[in-house]
Amino acid sequence: MTDNIQPTFNPGKGAGEPVGIAILGHGTVGTEVLRLMSEHSDPLAHRIGGPLELKGVAVSDLSKDRAGVDPSLLTDDAMSLINRDDVDIVVEVIGGIDYPRELVLAALQAGKSVVTANKALVAAHADELAEAADAANVDLYFEAAVAAAIPVVSMLRRSLAGDQIERISGIVNGTTNFILDAMESTGASYEDALAEATRLGYAEADPTADVEGHDAASKAAILASLGFHTRVKFTDVYCEGISKITADDIAAARNAGFVIKLLAICERISDANGQEAVSARVHPTLVPREHPLASVNESYNAIFVEAEAAGRLMFYGNGAGGNPTASAVLGDLVGAARNKVHGGRAPGENTYANLPIADFGSVETRYHIDMEVEDRTGVLAEVSATFASRGISLKTVRQEESGEHARLIVVTHGALESDLAATVEELKRSPGVKAVDSVIRLF
Ligand code: NDP
Ligand code: HSE
């Protein structure tokens, strides 16, 4: 069991003292962080108790035009900037994992607080980063890493810290929500919608992270870690993206009364022996049209939290883009700067529960399966028997004409993921089944 709360004391610089800031990265997010810092410098100084002083901005390409940035503040040597004595807080908005890890660790070890928007870094190296922050008695904030402007990290760290979280689920990737919504509402192609999401600054530098679900999986790992007081890493999250979702899937979902959303679902579950475990997964999901998540469109995110005492809570807002992300970064920056001025430290990570991570196969899911079958007597019975052989009960079965074959659309009741997946494999080998066209889990 780990319990990494560190009761240490940071006396602070004193009211009115300036707080030195280094910003690493001047892309979609960094540009807006810098703009807000500069445009709102006076109110920020009041809220903090001392002014923020920009000491430098690290970039990769010094030859790019940086309107509004004092050229003397620009550097391509992020490590030297971090290590300057007059830098108190480092804001990391570069992205990636290995290089930002070096930078963030160096900053923490040098006694600087860190604010990062980098979910990939946090989901891969949270333990190491939290330990470095604890050892140096400084802050490590990452509100912007999950769902940009939605303050879900603070809500889990503070507001719900006294409750027992049972489930956190929702839409945590703006790019994929934008793509699925555009395909559904305007009939846009997958490629055009992705290009537009990239143009609008929602997508990661390599949008594969968005469309293959990796970005959402990093966010799921962070949410599950905070919600269940258990370290959940990116590699612990089952992950399927949206790159195989077709216009036909979307039309079929619409006809059946659903919309397809890429959901992150983090749950506290009990196995057959009553042993508690944490499950975290990301996959395309059929959401009933009347469910509030179905109407979360464009790049908006929404997160449902189910807690023992609080009941059901839903958080909705801008989940991607320069300004919404900068809002979250600035909120963290104010928090870290207040602590630098007045002393103290924000609540750190706490993974005392240390629950095991559930194998995805042991999680209960429900499937919507669309298949082409031979149009002959007995096929329905064969298909039903395949499900029954693993104890899977069917909720609805619909048959439609489809050229020389019939189309069978089956919705199952809840069953173990491993049994459902094995059943689909068996259906593919079954002589009466010509093709399994789509398999999508239900919410
Ligand atoms: P961008 O690709 O737009 O910007 C990255 C910035 O990092 C650029 O300014 C780039 O420099 C700089 N950079 C790259 N390599 C180095 C290096 N070796 N040294 C110094 N600077 C370097 O990314 P975003 O602003 O979109 O994202 C930044 C982070 O924020 C990522 O972790 C992302 O996941 C996260 N995030 C992004 C959101 C969004 O909606 N965009 C939302 C929430 C989080 P140069 O300008 O010279 O190319
Ligand atoms: N690429 C991410 C998204 C940015 O689309 O949600 C916000 O984290």
Domain count, the chain: 3
Ligand 2 pocket member 171 (CB < 6 A): no
Which residues, 6+ apart, have CB-to-CB distance to 137 below 8 Å?
6, 8, 9, 10, 111, 345
Q: Are residues 293 and 332 in the same domain?
A: no
Dihedrals phi, psi of 42, to nearest 5 degrees: -70, -55
Paired tokens of 431: 């002589």
Ligand with minimal distance to 98 CA:
1
Tell me the pLDDT of the chain averaged across its residues: 95
Give the domain CATH number at 425.
3.30.70.260
Please give the Cα distance from 311 to 432 (Å, whole number): 46
The answer to whether 29 is a known ligand-binding residue is: yes
* 340 in active site: no
Please give the Cα distance from 298 to 172 (Å, whole number): 12
Dihedrals phi, psi of 182, to nearest 5 degrees: -65, -40
Q: Do residues 105 and 98 make contact, with C-beta atoms less than 8 angstroms apart?
A: no
Residue 179 carries which side chain, given as an amino acid letter? Answer: I
The answer to whether 26 is a known ligand-binding residue is: yes
Q: Are residues 227 and 300 in the same domain?
A: yes
Please give the Cα distance from 224 to 221 (Å, whole number): 5
β pairing state of 89-92 and 113-116: parallel
Residue 348 confidence class, pLDDT cut points 50, 70, 90 = confident
**For 3-18, what is the mean pLDDT?**
76
- Answer whether residue 9 is part of any domain: no
Please give the Cα distance from 98 to 96 (Å, whole number): 7
Residue 200 confidence class, pLDDT cut points 50, 70, 90 = very high
- pLDDT exceeds 90 at position 320: yes
Of 256 and 173, more confident: 173
Strand partners, 407: 372, 400
Q: Do residues 304 and 311 make contact, with C-beta atoms less than 8 angstroms apart?
A: no
**For 44-70, what is the mean pLDDT?**
97
- Answer whether residue 352 is part of any domain: no
Residue 3 confidence class, pLDDT cut points 50, 70, 90 = very low
Largest CA distance in the chain: 83
Q: For the segment 20-37, what is each residue's pLDDT rounded down to a tens digit?
A: 999 999 999 999 999 999
Share of the chain above pLDDT 90, in %: 93
Ligand 2 pocket member 210 (CB < 6 A): yes
Taking the model in full, what pTM does it have?
0.96
Q: Among the atoms of ligand 1, which is closest to the Cα of residue 148?
A: 43
Taking each helix axis from N to C end, the angle separating 174-185 and 247-255, rounded to the nearest 10 degrees, works out to 70
Residue 271 confidence class, pLDDT cut points 50, 70, 90 = confident
- Answer whether residue 355 is part of any domain: no
Residue 274 confidence class, pLDDT cut points 50, 70, 90 = confident
Q: Are residues 189 and 276 in the same domain?
A: yes
Residue 292 carries which side chain, given as an amino acid letter? Answer: P
Quick one: pLDDT at residue 404?
87
Q: Do residues 369 and 249 make contact, with C-beta atoms less than 8 angstroms apart?
A: no
Q: Do residues 437 and 371 make contact, with C-beta atoms less than 8 angstroms apart?
A: yes
Q: Are residues 73 and 173 in the same domain?
A: no
Q: Which helix (H) or strand (E) holds 267?
A: strand 258-270
Q: For the segment 377-388, what is each residue's pLDDT rounded down to a tens digit?
A: 999 999 999 999
Of 358 and 4, more confident: 358
DSSP 8-state symbol, 357: B
Q: Are residues 333 and 424 in the same domain?
A: no
Please give the Cα distance from 163 to 309 (Å, whole number): 6
- Answer whether residue 351 is part of any domain: no
Name the residue range of residue 290's domain: 156-318
Q: Single out the residue of 152, 172, 161, 145 nearest to residue 305, CA to CA.
A: 152
Please give the Cα distance from 79 to 416 (Å, whole number): 49
Which residue minimizes the CA distance to atom 1 of ligand 2?
203
Q: Single out the residue of 309, 331, 327, 408 nearest to residue 367, CA to CA.
A: 408
- pLDDT exceeds 70 at position 1: no
Q: Are residues 229 and 87 in the same domain?
A: no
The answer to whether 27 is a known ligand-binding residue is: yes
Q: Are residues 242 and 139 in the same domain?
A: no
- pLDDT exceeds 50 at position 2: no
**End-to-end CA separation in angstroms for the chain:** 33
Cα-to-centroid distance, 118 and ligand 1 (Å): 9
Q: Are residues 311 and 162 in the same domain?
A: yes
Q: Do residues 59 and 76 make contact, with C-beta atoms less than 8 angstroms apart?
A: yes
The residue whose CB lies within 8 Å of the most ligand 2 atoms, and thus the one to mutate among 210, 219, 261, is: 210
Please give the Cα distance from 396 to 66 (Å, whole number): 58
**For 180-200, what is the mean pLDDT?**
96
- pLDDT exceeds 80 at position 443: yes
Rg (CA), the chain: 24
Give the domain CATH number at 245.
3.30.360.10
Please give the Cα distance from 411 to 439 (Å, whole number): 10
Dihedrals phi, psi of 396, to nearest 5 degrees: -140, 150
318, 351, 371 - which closes a domain: 318
Q: Are residues 169 and 275 in the same domain?
A: yes
Q: Do residues 21 and 79 make contact, with C-beta atoms less than 8 angstroms apart?
A: no
- Answer whether residue 347 is part of any domain: no
**For 117-132, what is the mean pLDDT?**
97
- Answer whether residue 214 is part of any domain: yes
The answer to whether 349 is a known ligand-binding residue is: no
Give the dihedral sign, CA 44/46/49/54. positive
Ligand with minimal distance to 264 CA:
2
Paired tokens of 229: 């007081």
Paired tokens of 125: 């190296």
Paired tokens of 151: 């303050």
- Answer whether residue 265 is part of any domain: yes
Q: Are residues 368 and 427 in the same domain?
A: yes
Reported as half-sphere exposure (CB side, CA atoms, 13 A), residue 348 has a value of 29
Quick one: pLDDT at residue 8?
58
Set 55, 219, 233, 434: catalytic member: 219
Q: In this predicted structure, which of 1-5, 167-171, 201-205, 304-308 has the lowest mean pLDDT? A: 1-5
Which residues, 6+ apart, have CB-to-CB distance to 98 below 8 Å?
none
Q: Are residues 75 and 200 in the same domain?
A: no
- pLDDT exceeds 50 at position 439: yes
318, 350, 376 - which closes a domain: 318
Paired tokens of 168: 């956190």
Residue 401 confidence class, pLDDT cut points 50, 70, 90 = confident
**For 413-418, what is the mean pLDDT?**
97
Q: Are residues 186 and 174 in the same domain?
A: yes
309, 342, 375 - which closes a domain: 342
Ligand 2 pocket member 320 (CB < 6 A): yes
